[in-house]
Amino acid sequence: MHVAYLGPHGTFSEEAAMRYFAREEVTWTVCQTIPDVLEAVQRGDVTYGMVPIENSIDGSVTVALDGIFAAPELFVCGEFVLPVQQMLLGLPETNLADVREIWSIPPALAQCRQFLHRHGFPTRHFSSTAAAAKEIVASGRTDVAAIASAFAAKTFGLSILHEQIQDADNNHTRFVIVRKGQVIPANADKTMLLVLPCAEYAGILATILNVFAAFHLNLSWISSRPTKTRLGTYQFAFDVEAGLEDPKMQKAISILRTFDHQVRIVGTFPAWKWAHASNGDV
């Protein structure tokens, strides 16, 4: 099995990939950007790609969503939820009182606004949390620190100066696993759909939602993305709590298409179960 994920080494993406595929024999491909991961899957260079699509504090990862939605050959076949605990990392000889600047990726900085504001730290942007942590080592400076994971601290030999500095304790990032070509897992109980409305009129989204409600299909995630054809036109992505082969799901899709809405099956997969965390499968 060949799997691509967003690098460099020490990222939350690497941690998620290692944990999700922990029981498999894997050849890894480390990519510089999320589009690089998706393109590797499209070209057939790898079997699977793993990318983040949403964070409970910072919201949707639009570059990942748009990349998946723009490539009909990509199919979401799994998901993984990683608890995100942001740590303040520095060289072993660094004292928190001496830190004058914080380095990290913008989303990580956004997740730690209260901590940064409380201490009055200026910030510097990097391409990833891991890149910031790695640069701390390369710089040899004890007046700077990086916001990254405990996994990154272990990877780069850094010390944790302050634990769990994120604004919300319940901070999670959801990743999806994509492959080339449709496959329907036998235990699929969630389906991702992309719906392009047939027209623009008041209440168009409500009519789409009413179809799911009529069949008692719960929606666990909704995202609107521009069609990129004209300003003010949108398509809607849904996670529906039912497998693609569920009769209620099939009826809902059929009715949406009868109303001339364009419906694309983005993926169907086993929903992440929070019980996994207590079983050591996170």
Q: Does residue 278 form part of some domain? A: no
Can you give the CATH number for the domain in which 241 is found?
3.30.70.260
Q: Does residue 230 form part of some domain? A: yes
- Interval 261-275 mean pLDDT: 88
State whether 24 and 62 are in the same domain. Answer: yes
Domain boundary among 154, 183, 212: 183
State whether 115 and 71 are in the same domain. Answer: no
| CB 144, CB 101: distance < 8 Å | yes
pLDDT band at 174 (very low <50, low <70, confident <90, very high): very high
For residue 218 the two structure tokens come to 């719960």
What pLDDT shows up at residue 63? 92
State whether 74 and 100 are in the same domain. Answer: no
Q: Does residue 234 form part of some domain? A: yes
pLDDT digits (tens, 9 = 90+) for 117-126: 999 999 999 9
Neighbours of 17 (CB within 10 A): 27
Can you give the CATH number for the domain in which 9 is found?
3.40.190.10
State whether 62 and 103 are in the same domain. Answer: no
Q: How far apart are CA 45 and CA 30, in angstroms?
A: 12
- Interval 70-99 mean pLDDT: 94
DSSP β-bridge partners for residue 61: none
State whether 190 and 114 are in the same domain. Answer: no
For residue 14 the two structure tokens come to 């690497």
What pLDDT shows up at residue 274? 59
Residue 275 predicted with pLDDT over 80? no
State whether 25 and 116 are in the same domain. Answer: no
State whether 2 and 56 are in the same domain. Answer: yes
Neighbours of 112 (CB within 10 A): 26
* Angle 21-26-29 from CA coordinates, rounded to 5°: 100
pTM to 2 decimals? 0.82
Q: Does residue 279 form part of some domain? A: no
Our count of domains for the chain comes to 3
State whether 77 and 171 are in the same domain. Answer: yes
- Write the CA distances from 112 to 103, 158, 170, 247, integer angstroms: 12, 19, 13, 44
Residue 51 predicted with pLDDT over 60? yes
| Amino acid at the residue 133 | A
Residue scoring higher pLDDT (170 or 137): 137
Return the minimum-mean-pLDDT range out of 146-150, 232-236, 274-278.
274-278
Domain boundary among 127, 162, 197: 162
| CB 50, CB 61: distance < 8 Å | no
Q: Does residue 282 form part of some domain? A: no
Kindly tell me the burial class for residue 47, based on how many C-beta atoms sit within 10 Å of its own C-beta (0-12, 13-18, 19 or more).
Answer: middle
56: containing domain: 1-84+167-183
Q: How far apart are CA 3 and CA 29, in angstroms?
A: 6
For residue 121 the two structure tokens come to 């730290």
Q: How far apart are CA 2 and CA 226, in angstroms?
A: 32
With pLDDT > 90 as the criterion, what percentage of the chain qualifies? 74
DSSP β-bridge partners for residue 180: 74
Q: Does residue 200 form part of some domain? A: yes
State whether 49 and 71 are in the same domain. Answer: yes
Phi first, then psi: give them for residue 232, nearest 5 degrees: 90, 5
Q: Name the residue with tokens 């620190």.
A: 145
State whether 246 and 191 are in the same domain. Answer: yes
* Nearest Cα to Cα of residue 129 among 263, 7, 33, 273: 7
Q: Does residue 280 form part of some domain? A: no
State whether 265 and 238 are in the same domain. Answer: yes
Q: How far apart are CA 70 and CA 64, in angstroms?
A: 10
State whether 64 and 9 are in the same domain. Answer: yes
| Average pLDDT over all residues of the chain | 91
Domain boundary among 131, 150, 183: 183
Phi first, then psi: give them for residue 264, nearest 5 degrees: -115, 130
Q: Does residue 276 form part of some domain? A: no
